[in-house]
Amino acid sequence: MSAPPPAPVPSSTGRRADLDWLRIVALALLILYHVGLAYTPWDWHLNSAHRFAFMEKVILLTSPWRLTLLFLVSGAALRLMSGKYPAREVLRQRFLRLAPPFIFGVLVLIPPQAWVEAMAKYDFHGGLIAWWLQEFSLDGLARGIPINHLWFVLYIGVYSLVAVALLFRPAWIAAAELWLKKTLTGWRLLVLPILYLAAIRQLLYPWFGLTNRLESDWYNHALSLGVFLFGFLMVRRASLWSELERVRWIAAPAAAVSVIVLMILYGLHRTDLAGASLRNSVFAFNQWMTIVAALGFASRHLRGADGPARRYLNDAIFPCYLAHQTITVVALYLLLPHHLPPWIEAPVLVGVTLGGSLAIYEVVRRINLIRPLWGLKPLPRSAPPATPRSPGKAAP
């Protein structure tokens, strides 16, 4: 059987359905990941009474690469937008897309989950309004206000500023794209990014960890800004996409084997330098191999996979992301007093989170006034109906 024809050369301005699907899947996995954190041994915003050691290994299925892929896809999407609009218009659109949801989220969406956490962990006995007034008082603002899962929106906004600044230096972009095209060919596409990811994991992660605080999150910036700019620079290079498709069958089994090895290494709980170094190296290996496989298979099979499902989910996923964690935390707080067994509580929590997030989207998308607060463009105004002319009357 002959091989299928190669995917078309990526357009500099057209929408990429494969990137949309990757974004949809990665954000959906992130929503499920946050639900799963309630059942890990780690301290989260609110934990279930049922906490399972095996969940540490389950979340390793996606935690090395999920957010990294999202940042890469976000950078690629910004670059495709820049092919349609000048830099200032790109900046304006990014601001309108991200700033209103972030501000609205900090003021309205995060307070319920932070209030519930304060009652559950810190013996706060006031109501939601009392908590809100306390947190947004001068003393509360001085201590810092929680942004919880909206750190991702903040980071995308800041990284977009860096990328838009590059748009005013097209010669720099051209030189960087040419370097990537020449360098990331063959084995280098697999090895060089792994070396970078392993280096920052070894050198920065032990010192800085993952703080999700913009001013001190240096490992996260080295990782997430790095892949954001990589996506920004590589998305219009047809040769790189051809390479990704070509090595996808190498990357996929390598990713599958490495995640098993990673689970074993985390299960050993070695704290010595050699054990931590090996764990970090396998983490980076799995991270990049999974991303290469995802990009290669999506480019090969999903680039033209457009239709009503993609359009609906692509529109819904960002509002669902904004809403989901508040729904999860509040729903779990309401479920805990009922002492449900885990095989009932966990599916209920997943169903309420996903169903509630989609229900909010269904309401939001119909109300033009609040669509921008949830990251949706306002609906176009309908043109007024034409006034029918009287029969036999000539047009002016």
Per residue in 190-225, pLDDT tens? 999 999 999 999 999 999 999 999 999 999 999 999
Model confidence at 299: pLDDT above 90: yes
pLDDT > 70 in the chain, percent = 93
Model confidence at 259: pLDDT above 60: yes
- Structural domain contains residue 390: no
The percent of the chain in helix, strand and coil, each rounded to the nearest 5, is 70, 0, 30
**Which carries the bigger pLDDT value, residue 32 or residue 385?**
32
Beta carbons within 8 Å of 315's beta carbon, 6+ residues apart: 361, 365, 376
For tokens 């080295």, the residue is 222
CA angle 209, 332, 113 (to 5 degrees): 60
Model confidence at 388: pLDDT above 80: no
The DSSP line for 140-188 is HHHH----GGGHHHHHHHHHHHHHHHHHT-HHHHHHHHHHHHHHSSTHH
Q: Taking the CB of residue 93, how many other CB atoms lie within 10 A of it?
A: 16
- Structural domain contains residue 386: no
**389 confidence band (pLDDT: 50, 70, 90):** very low
Q: Tell me what the mean pLDDT of segment 268-293 comes to.
A: 94
Q: Tell me what the mean pLDDT of segment 315-344 comes to.
A: 97
pLDDT in tens, 333-385: 999 999 999 999 999 999 999 999 999 999 999 999 999 999 999 988 764 54
Confidence (pLDDT) at 385: 47
- Structural domain contains residue 8: no
Beta carbons within 8 Å of 393's beta carbon, 6+ residues apart: none
Helix (H) or strand (E) run with residue 94 in it: helix 87-104
Average pLDDT, rounded, for the chain = 91
One-letter amino acid at 118 equals A
Confidence (pLDDT) at 14: 61
- Structural domain contains residue 358: yes
Q: Taking the CB of residue 219, how many other CB atoms lie within 10 A of it?
A: 19
* Token pair recorded at residue 169: 């230096």
By residue range, what is the domain housing residue 183? 17-374
Model confidence at 2: pLDDT above 60: no
* Token pair recorded at residue 150: 């909206």
- Structural domain contains residue 175: yes
Among residues 37, 39, 14, the alpha carbon closest in space to that of 340 is found at: 39
- Structural domain contains residue 152: yes
* Token pair recorded at residue 151: 């750190």
- Structural domain contains residue 254: yes
Using the Cα atoms of residue 377, residue 378, residue 379 and residue 383 in order, give the sign of their dihedral. negative
Confidence (pLDDT) at 13: 46
Among residues 324, 63, 86, 307, the alpha carbon closest in space to that of 201 is found at: 63
- Structural domain contains residue 316: yes
Confidence (pLDDT) at 269: 86
Domain total of the chain = 1
Confidence (pLDDT) at 159: 98
Q: Tell me what the mean pLDDT of segment 75-102 comes to.
A: 95
pLDDT in tens, 219-245: 999 999 999 999 999 999 999 999 999
**Which carries the bigger pLDDT value, residue 107 or residue 141?**
107
For tokens 């999903």, the residue is 302
pLDDT in tens, 116-157: 999 999 889 899 999 999 999 988 888 888 999 999 999 999
Confidence (pLDDT) at 382: 64
Q: Tell me what the mean pLDDT of segment 261-268 comes to.
A: 94
